């Protein structure tokens, strides 16, 4: 018998060998008992057919086809749009694909869709709370997924999965966090990379997606993330180093009249022995219209810098960057750097270090 299907026992005889009037009373009790059994069966069958709602979800993709069953040969009975709210009534895995039985809010028709097209409403609420928490954090650099990866609500292998993203998905990187690896790896896409296999920490990135996305902010396992160098300055930091921040500012016209940005770059030695710092060099480059190349406007090494860098454009000729820097003891101060266009040349100056504040937070 299938799991979850009601089993009703019907007595074929009544164990009452009495004669009238006790027999009549016995027959009456039998009739009442049979009625209750039939009513119970009707209620049970109703539950089997309709099912009970198990979750509320939101559609995250556009043009999601709805089918009448999960069979290989099925029929399309409708389509959902991104943002539609649905109730989930059943989950099933067929040929390695997870399906959910849904009913769109405000409609009575049921159907089946692939589970990857929806996320629970409570997780969406958590995503929106995360988005609000980091609303003021600006993009540090672009990123792209190397492979299919789970987007999580917290930087942990045990955290709930918001959705599964395809390889090649792009986003902005807001923050990096190292988290102690407390449990064995169960996800093939979250196994440590070669240079991480001998440590007890995982790297996670807090990322932000375009405004068109239902989910805007979440955490991705660092081993699945490729940081993207802007094409204009790709390879400029040299071998043996990794670009981890690229913040455009200002504008310079080349000989053809095209507008090119300058860049406040952050990078780090690939085999650095400082796992806490996000970057160990600040490298500012400006576009030179005479040569058509990027040249150095500022260079500082070594530093122990942390995400996120805050920046603002004061005018077309000035931009400011507030950079969190650590001392040897791990105390953090905010240091201001000002880029300014003087005599048609972008120059950078470092502000004075502010007084060290007590009990400044440290990175683990």
pLDDT of residue 231: 96
Higher pLDDT, 70 or 357: 70
CA atoms within 13 A of residue 168's CA, in its CB half-sphere: 1
CA atoms within 13 A of residue 227's CA, in its CB half-sphere: 25
Inter-residue contact 97 to 114 (CB < 8 Å): yes
Confidence of residue 187 (pLDDT cuts 50, 70, 90): low
Higher pLDDT, 171 or 20: 171
pLDDT of residue 314: 82
Confidence of residue 182 (pLDDT cuts 50, 70, 90): confident
Mean pLDDT in residue range 165-186: 87
Residue 242 CA to residue 230 CA, distance in Å, equals 13
Confidence of residue 23 (pLDDT cuts 50, 70, 90): low
- For 138, phi then psi, to 5°, come to -95, 155
* Neighbour tally for 144: CB within 10 Å: 14
Sequence-separated (6 or more) residues with CB below 8 Å from residue 172: 139, 140, 141, 142, 143, 207, 208, 209
Q: Supply the pTM of this predicted model.
A: 0.77
- Measuring CA to CA, which residue among 153, 102, 148, 105 is closest to residue 125? 153
> Is the pLDDT assigned to residue 196 strictly greater than 70?
no
Inter-residue contact 283 to 299 (CB < 8 Å): yes
pLDDT of residue 42: 38
Q: Dump pLDDT digits (tens) for 94-135.
A: 999 999 999 999 999 999 999 999 999 999 999 999 999 999
Least confident of 16-30, 203-217, 241-255, 327-341: 16-30
Inter-residue contact 70 to 94 (CB < 8 Å): yes
CA atoms within 13 A of residue 315's CA, in its CB half-sphere: 5
Residue 165 CA to residue 282 CA, distance in Å, equals 32
Residue carrying structure tokens 């390879």:
235
Least confident of 134-148, 185-199, 266-280: 185-199
């Amino acid at each position: 018998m299938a799991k979850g299907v009601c089993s009703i026992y019907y007595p074929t005889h009544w164990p009452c060998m009495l004669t009238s009037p006790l027999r009549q009373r016995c027959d009456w009790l039998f009739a009442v008992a049979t009625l209750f059994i039939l009513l119970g069966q009707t209620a049970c069958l109703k539950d089997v057919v309709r099912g009970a709602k198990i979750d509320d979800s939101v559609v995250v993709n556009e043009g999601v086809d709805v089918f009448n069953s999960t069979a290989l040969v099925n029929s399309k009975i409708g389509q959902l749009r991104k943002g539609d709210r649905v109730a989930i009534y059943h989950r099933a895995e067929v040929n390695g694909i997870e399906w959910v039985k849904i009913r769109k809010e405000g409609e009575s028709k049921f159907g089946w869709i692939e589970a990857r097209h929806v996320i629970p409403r409570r997780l969406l609420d958590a995503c929106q709370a995360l988005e609000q928490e980091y609303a003021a954090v600006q993009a540090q650099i672009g990123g792209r997924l190397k492979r299919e990866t789970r987007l999580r609500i917290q930087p942990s292998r045990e955290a709930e999965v918001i959705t599964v993203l395809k390889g090649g998905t792009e986003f902005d990187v807001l923050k990096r966090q190292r988290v102690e690896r407390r449990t064995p790896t169960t996800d093939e896409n979250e196994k440590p990379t070669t240079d991480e296999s001998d440590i007890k920490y995982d790297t996670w990135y807090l990322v932000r997606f375009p405004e068109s996305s239902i989910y805007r902010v979440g955490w991705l396992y660092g081993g699945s993330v490729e940081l993207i160098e802007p094409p204009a300055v790709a390879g400029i930091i040299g071998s043996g180093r990794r670009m981890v921040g690229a913040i455009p500012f200002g504008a310079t016209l080349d000989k053809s009249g095209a507008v090119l940005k300058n860049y406040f770059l952050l990078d780090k030695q690939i085999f650095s022995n400082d796992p806490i710092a996000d970057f160990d060099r600040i490298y500012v480059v400006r576009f030179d219209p005479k040569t058509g190349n990027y040249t150095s406007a500022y260079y500082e090494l070594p530093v122990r810098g942390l995400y996120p860098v805050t920046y603002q454009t004061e005018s077309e000729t000035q931009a400011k960057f507030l950079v969190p820097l650590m001392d040897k003891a791990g105390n953090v101060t905010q240091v201001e750097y000002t880029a300014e266009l003087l005599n048609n040349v972008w120059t950078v100056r470092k502000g004075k270090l502010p007084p060290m504040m007590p009990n400044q937070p440290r990175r683990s």
